[in-house]
Every structure is written in C-alpha cells, then in structure tokens.
Amino acid sequence: MEQTTGGAAALPTYNLNPEQEKKEIVRHYRALLRALRPKLKKGDKELLRHAFEMAADAHKTMRRKSGEPYILHPIAVAMICVEEIGLGVRSTICALLHDTVEDTDISLEDIEREFGTEIARIVDGLTKISTVMDTNSSQQAENFKKILLTLTDDPRVILIKLADRLHNMRTLDSMKQEKQLKIASETVWVYAPLAHRMGLYNIKTELEDLSMKYLEPEAYREIAKRLAETKRERTRYINEFIRPLKDKLQNSGFNFEIYGRPKSIHSIWNKIKKKGVSFEEVYDLFAIRVILDSPQEKEKEDCWKVYSMITDEYMPSPERLRDWLSNPKSNGYEALHTTVMGPQGKWVEVQIRTKRMNEIAEKGLAAHYKYKEGSNDEDRFDKWFGQIREVLTTQDTDGVDFLQDFKTSFLAEEIYVYTPKGEVKMLPTGSTALDFAFAIHSAIGTKCIGAKVHHKLVPISHKLRSGDQVEIITSNKQKPSEDWLNIVVTAKAKNKIKDALREEKRKIAEDGKYVLQRRLESIGAAYNQHNIDELVQFYKVPSSLDLNYRIATKQIDLKELKDFQVLGDKIEIPKPKPVIPDIAADPSRQYSRKDSELIIFGESSDKIMYTLAKCCNPIPGDDVFGFVSVGKGLIIHRTSCPNAAQLMANYGHRVVKTKWAKNKEISFLTGLKIVGLDDVGVINKITNVISGDLKINISGLTIESREGLFEGTIKVFVHDKEELEELVLRLKSLQGIQSVERFDAETVS
C-alpha cells in the first residue's frame, strides 16, 4: 500500500449546483450497488433503495464541514463496509442509516417498522457508540463499556463503526485543529487497536498513519517524503529479491502471487523511535508477500514447502520465525513470517499465506465468519468475546481505569500458555503467573503463592512467555494484597483482586463501626445516617465504609468529636466561612470562558498559572495543548508527548487550546542527545558552538565514550524552538558527529 492516506480526502471547497449534486449522490450510490452485486438476493435491491432514500431524505438539509452533502458520508461508510471489510447487504443498510437516529427526526421505531428488529438493533448500537465517543463528555471511557457490550452482542456494530471512523479520518482536513487532535488521539488510542483485534490489518494501518499525520505532522511528512524518494531503488531491489523465488515456485507447480509492499509510515516511525535508528537504518521498510492458491487441507504443507524454498535461496534469521499456522492469533490471523538475508546484505521480511488466510488478514472478522460457516467449534473470536462479556458483567471501576485495563487485557498481542495437563490458555502479552492463576479459577488466583514454569520455581510476579507450561502453587493462608494490582494485567484478575480487597476491608470496617457507635453514644449522639454523612464530609473520606475502615486502622482517632455540638441526637459541625476573592483587586483573574479557550502563555504568564509537563518538556514554538489538572492549574504538553493520546482521548473536556506568545525574557530547559566519533577536542568543539557562537547557557553535560564512539547528553536553556533547531543544525555540521536528537520522554531536571 504505497498510498498511505487512502480514500477521497474532503474537498476544501465544494461548489456543485443542486443538479450536479444530485448526479454526484446517485453516482456514489450506483457504485455501492455495483460493489454489492455478488451478494444481492431477491428483494435486496428494493430494501437498499428504501434505506438510501430514507437516509437521503433525512439528511437532505445537512452538510459536512467540507461543504458537501451529508448523505455522501453514509454512502462512503457503506462502501468501506462492502469493499474493505467484506460485509453484506444488511450491514450496508445499517451503514446508510447509521447517523439517522442521532441526527435526524427518524426514530428507532421507524427503522424497526421498515427494516426489522436485527437492523434496528445494530443501528441502536451505532447510535449509542456515537454519543459515547464523539462528545466532549468525561463519560467517554465509562460509556466505552456500552460499545463493548454491543460488540459482543453483534460484532457488525463495531465493524461499521470502524468504517465510519476510517471515513472521518480520511476527511479530517476540513476540521479545526483541536478537533483533529482529539479525534486522531482517540483513533490511535482505541479504534486502531480495536481494528487490529478484529483482524482488519489494512484499516488498522491506515488509521494509525492518518492519526500520525495530524499528531506528528513533521515526522509523518519526513517519512512519507523519504519513502517516495526511495521508491525506485526499493522496487528495483524487490524485483531482484523476487526473481529467483519466482522461478523456484513456478518449477514446483505452485499457483501463487508474490509482491513487495512498503511498511506503514507509523510502523517505520515506531521502529525509528524504539530502536533509536535513522530512516536509512530501518532494515524492513517493506515486506515480501507470497500468497498461494491452495486447497484448505494442503495449506499448512504448502506454506512450509514454500518456506523451505525461500530459506534454500536466502539464509533465515532463526529468532525471527513466526509460526501462526500451527497457532493462529486470536483475531484469526494465520501466516508464516520469516526474515532472511537478501542481496546486498539487507534483511527482508517474507510473509507466506494462502488466499483464504489473506482474505482473513485483510477482511478480519467478516471473512473469518464466512469460512467458519457450518462449523460448531467455539473458536478464538468466540472465546475472546466470552472473556469480554465476563469482565463487563463484573466491572465496576471508573471509566478511565476500565479503558486502560481493556487495552492491556484485550487489545494487546497474546501469548499461549499451557497448564500441567497441556490445556492451552490465551493471555495478553505481559501477563504474569498471577494472571494465569486467575485465568484458571478465581479461587486459585486468590490463594496463589508462586508457580513452577517448566518445573522451575518462580514468584507470582514472573512474566510469562508464549509456550510456557505453568503449574500454580497455592496456600490456604494466602490473601490478596493491594500490591497485587500492580502485578497483574488482565481485567479478570484485577476485578477479582479488588473484590477480595473490598471484602477484607468490609471485615476490618466492622470493628471501626463498633468504635464509632460507642464514641457517638458517649457524647449523647446517635449512630444514624445524618451523623455518618456529617462525619464523612468532615473527615473528607469517600464513603462510610472508608470512615469505619480508617477508624479501625487508627488513621482517624475521632478526637474532634468532643468539639461538636449535639442537638437532640444529631451532631452539628461548625461550617468554615467561605472566602470570596476580590476580583476587582486582582484584574488578572478577569478572563472569560471564551478567553480560556485560547490561552496565550509566555508574555501573559502572570495571568495564568501554568506548569510545563515533565514528560515532554515543551519549549516555545512546539505544538502544544493545555491540560486542566486538579490542583496544578494548567499543564502544558507537546502534542507529540507520549501521554498526549491518552489525555486527549480520555479527558477531551479538560484539554484547552494553547499557543505561545513570544517572550525572549524566559528561557526553557531542554535536552539533546549527541552521538559521534570519540575524537580529541570533540567536547571543546561542542561547547564552543553552544556557549561561544550561540551564547546558549549549558545546565549540564555528560559524555561517555566507548570503543571509539561517544554518547553525550547536554541540558541547555533555550528561548524557543527556532533557537533549538539552529543549535541542532550547527552541532550536526561538526565533523564526526553522527546524530543530534532532542530527548523526549525523559525528564529534564
């Protein structure tokens, strides 16, 4: 997929007359019908036409931000469902109607009357999701549970929602910047992992690339440019690599396709970040794909034969073999991946799969069910939905925690771990022996004191790897403790531990309740709801359970009770007088809600209390946003901060637009990492450029040299991004310097 932004981008100006508009809408609708033709049965065409006319009429006065008629959006979403996800007629009808209940006068009853219960249920699910994810409400993550309930009820809901999100991302150009950042953050935080988990690799990749285009525009443009520049030599290399393999496969009588495709911009960027390498050093900028036309009973055998031919020609890297034929991923993905040493000493990834496997890899869940028809086996998708259902029914944590747990429990890659009897359990990557214990049974989890992995004793916090055989060791004296929550990653284990801790807390709180009762009676007050509420408020605890628990554990000693007045049997707590700030005395506090949406800080820093986030250390000139925190005022983060996606996706209502005002009086601390050849006088050269030429203050400098290379970190005070960029350019131009990078996620202190 050389084109990374797929689909039609929103038109910046839309100027068709009503007649042309009608033709445009009909043209799109006809294209949709053509794409659906192989799936149409008797009566389907009429139903589709009815849905299209109903949606077109309902949306007739509405426009998108780009100016185009709104109905083009549902048609585009339906087209993605058909062509890119492989859904059928009923899903297409749902896609055409997906915004009608929320945005127009059409009710769910109307849809049920016209199209039946099944379609009404899916549209209802889609309506719930849009009110969940696209508002600024702090309920976003809380309501995300509703999405998952509809997902396990009918997975088509989530597939259509992914198509809707993909079209919104493709047409995001017409939105305001803060909306772009919020939608892109949410996409990369929730929707891309969800697409991956549903087996929709192409859609997942495109969602990640499009999010990156808005969240990391510079890095995105740079990699896209480099990919375009190297396209010709890449194509030449791919052809050279493929030539001998083609001959071998043809001589063996295989019916096959073989081609190279570039990796996505987002995955290249991830490699550059994780491995700390430059674009030129990312060895797998592309992957070679071999797709075989094999009957299902011979698929495995054929894939391994092809693997054997490829490794006869090119030397494989043994630790880079991935066998998802014997053990498919839980999203149905099957393939054989290997990395081999190609011509010119370059490592090349090769993916071997059959046509059926390829369709499942591209169309995910929809294709998976197509091939499953007629089989009664409970497959991995069903098991996955079952696990989600189990967690949702017992889940009562707050929304944001839930979303985080859901990501680590259900959207991560998985590992396969065996019980002593050889039963396989599927767990998310990063799971520990304690997660495995809870996966077997919650009673085993709560009594777990350790485990044996391949007969060797390990602690409960031991991280498991795919293929481990694990035996859990229990003791009746064991009880879960608070720190267990930091050991486990699965939502099931977290819920069961919280339940056990609550039960324990309740038992201890009973003692506190008895103490409180006696103390209240000693001052002539009753143990009643009014008095408990008053004390909960006075001691600032979340609930009466916490009050009793803290009394029992002596965190609260009730000595203040003697100062309270008792009227009848009720206690009266004296209320402190409220302090009313004198706004007239402090004119800097007078800024309206409208001003607060665009806070310009720097020059006007005296007006607004702000702090710079330690996770990304922004400096003037960086793209930034303000995050309204509890107690710390406004915290300024870079939009490329490692925590930005999570903050914008979960707390969109607390994010404010911010930009810098020029202020040469204030300087900001930032850090640079320099790597180069260890040469005499290299430190002198570096400090000359910084202090001598550019008159920049150095806060700290550490240099380590090893085997002819040096690695240095320099902390400097700069006024803005331009000054920092000038410094980086000057340092890069010094002889022997290999790379100069601003360090990002580490704290500069």
Does one domain contain both 114 and 92?
yes
Q: Does some domain include residue 749? A: no
Q: What is the pLDDT of residues 125-169, one digit of tens each?
A: 887 666 544 444 444 455 556 556 656 667 788 888 899 999 999
Burial class (CB in 10 A: 0-12, 13-18, 19+), 306: buried
Could you tell me if residue 252 is inside a domain? yes
- 1 falls within a domain: no
Name the helix (H) or strand (E) containing 258. Answer: strand 256-262
Closest among 334, 316, 313 to 325, alpha carbons compared: 334
Give the type of residue at 214: Y
Q: What is the CATH number of the domain that holds 675?
A: 3.30.70.260
Catalytic residue among 44, 83, 102, 114: 102
pLDDT the model gives residue 745: 42
Residue 289's pLDDT is 93
- Which structure tokens are listed for 402? 């839930």
Domain of 402, CATH number, reads 3.10.20.30
CA 426, CA 416: separation in Å to the nearest integer?
A: 5
Last residue of a domain, one of 182, 215, 248: 215
- pLDDT 10s digits, 160-174: 889 999 999 999 988
Strand, helix or coil for residue 642: coil
In whole angstroms, what separates CA 29 from the centre of its chain? 33
Cα 160 to Cα 99, 244, 384, distances in angstroms: 11, 42, 19
**pLDDT digit string (tens) for 356-402?**
988 888 877 666 665 555 444 445 566 666 666 666 655 555 555 55
CATH number at residue 321: 3.30.460.10
Q: Which residues are registered as beta bridge partners of 349?
A: 287, 339
Task: Tell me if residue 557 is catalytic.
Answer: no
Beta bridge partners of 337: 322, 351
For residue 98, what pLDDT is reported?
A: 87
Q: Looking at 298-312, 643-657, 666-680, 727-741, which range is the least confident one? A: 643-657
Q: What is the mean pLDDT of residues 481-508?
A: 87
102 catalytic, yes or no? Answer: yes
What is the pLDDT, as a whole number, of residue 478?
87
Identify which has the larger pLDDT, 289 or 659.
289
Q: What is the pLDDT of residue 386?
A: 66
Is the pLDDT score of 660 beyond 80? Answer: no
pLDDT of 105 above 70: yes
The better pLDDT of the pair 728, 273 is held by: 728
- Calculate what percentage of the chain has a pLDDT beyond 90: 19
Using pLDDT thresholds of 50, 70 and 90, give the confidence band for residue 663: low
Q: Is 532 left (phi over 0), alpha (psi -120 to 50) or beta?
A: alpha
Q: For residue 578, what pLDDT is reported?
A: 46
Q: DSSP code of 669?
A: E
Rounded Cα distance between 554 and 511, Å, is 11
Q: Where in the sequence is the domain holding 737, given as residue range(s)?
A: 668-742
With cut-offs at 50, 70 and 90, classify the pLDDT of residue 584.
very low
Highest mean pLDDT: which range of 27-41, 536-550, 559-573: 27-41
Does residue 166 sit within a domain?
yes
Mean pLDDT on 515-527: 82
Residues 529 and 611 in one domain: no
Q: Is residue 281 one of the residues assigned to a domain? A: yes
CATH of the domain at 89: 1.10.3210.10
Band (pLDDT 50/70/90 cuts) for residue 539 is: confident
Same domain, 548 and 682: no
Specify the pLDDT at position 387.
65
pLDDT at 347 over 80: yes
Model confidence at 481, pLDDT cuts 50, 70, 90, reads confident
What average pLDDT does range 186-205 have in this prediction? 83
Cα angle 13, 17, 19; round to 5: 140
Catalytic residue among 44, 103, 222, 744: 103
Residue 145 shares a structural domain with residue 182: yes
Q: Which residue has the higher pLDDT, 193 or 599?
A: 193
Instruction: Give 600's pLDDT tier (boundaries 50, 70, 90).
Output: low
Q: Shortest CA distance to 619 belongs to which of 743, 721, 723, 713? A: 721
Residues 485-507 have a mean pLDDT of 87
Average pLDDT over residues 290-307: 93
In this structure, are 68 and 193 located in the same domain? yes
Residue type, 89: V
Total length of the chain: 749
| Domain C-terminal end among 355, 372, 389 | 372
Alpha helices in 314-364 (DSSP H): 355-363
Do 533 and 623 belong to one domain?
A: no
**Average model confidence (pLDDT) for the chain?**
80
For residue 621, which of 718, 740, 745 has the smallest C-alpha distance? 718
Query: Which of 464, 492, 520 corresponds to the end of one domain?
Result: 492
Domain identity same for 391 and 461 = yes
User: Cα(721)–Cα(716) distance, rounded to whole angstroms?
Assistant: 12
Residue 597 in this model has a pLDDT that exceeds 90: no
Instruction: Give tens-digit pLDDT for 706-723.
Output: 777 888 888 888 888 888
Distance CA(376)–CA(372), nearest Å, equals: 8
Q: In the predicted model, what is the mean pLDDT of residues 69-92?
A: 90
Domain check: are 616 and 652 in the same one? yes
Mean pLDDT of 86-105: 88
pLDDT band for position 304 (cuts 50, 70, 90):
very high
Half-sphere exposure of residue 256: CA atoms within 13 angstroms, side-chain side? 27
* Percent of the chain predicted with pLDDT > 70: 81
pLDDT at residue 208, as a whole number:
92
- Residue 748 in any domain: the answer is no
- The contacts of residue 274 (CB under 8 Å, 6+ apart) are none
DSSP reduced 3-state for 223: helix
Q: Are residues 45 and 131 in the same domain?
A: yes
Within-domain flag for 12: no
Q: Say yes or no: 109 and 256 in one domain.
A: no
Phi–psi pair at 685, nearest 5 degrees: -60, -45
Q: Encode burial over 522-539: b for 16+ CB neighbours within 10 A, e otherwise.
A: eeebeeeeebbebbbebe
Inform me whether the pLDDT recorded for 351 exceeds 90: yes
Could you read off the pLDDT of 391-444 as tens digits, one per residue?
665 555 555 555 566 665 566 677 788 888 888 788 888 899 999 999 998 899
Q: 3-state SS of the chain: helix, strand, coil percent to 5?
A: 50, 15, 30
Query: Whole-model pTM above 0.85?
Result: no
pLDDT score at 654:
75
* Res 599 pLDDT > 70: no
State how many domains the chain has.
Answer: 6
| 538 and 561 share one domain | yes
Res 303 pLDDT > 90: yes
Tokens of 271: 């490699």
509 and 622 belong to one structural domain: no
